[in-house]
Amino acid sequence: MEITVCKSKIHRATVTDTNIDYEGSITIDSKLMDLAGINEFEQVHVVNVNNAERFVTYVIRGKKDSEIVLNGAAARLAVPGDKVIIIAYGIIKAKKARTFKPKVVLVDEKNIVQKASS
């Protein structure tokens, strides 16, 4: 049997901008993407800590300047300054799930990495 697990997450990132006139997605700082093992165009779930909105979108690689930008329709679900949790999932064998550990990137209010697990 295979199950879906949290593969990686960026925890409590701060939304730096929104762009309603974009086709849709979330732009994430490339350094944060690399540390979390999240790929460009990968599906992610985004949870807004401030207003409890939850949505699914895909990732666009951002510059290395701590940006977290909600684009398109997602731009209506947060405002700059909101805290979000960005979660990527993967499918693994149930037996492997017992020992699997996700990559977790913890950031401060400026999206500067405070701790990253591997």
Kindly name the residue from 22, 25, 30, 117 that is annotated as catalytic: 25
Kindly name the residue from 8, 22, 30, 58 that is annotated as catalytic: 58
Q: In the block, which residue shows the tokens 């699914």?
A: 56
Tokens of 52: 């409890």
Amino acid at 35: L
Residue 25's nearest CA partner among 38, 36, 35 is 38
Q: In the block, which residue shows the tokens 């979108």?
A: 57
Q: What are phi and psi of 45, to 5 degrees?
A: -105, 140
Tokens of 73: 């329709």
Residue 2 burial (CB count, 10 A): 12
58 flagged as catalytic = yes
25 flagged as catalytic = yes
| Residues with catalytic function | 25, 58
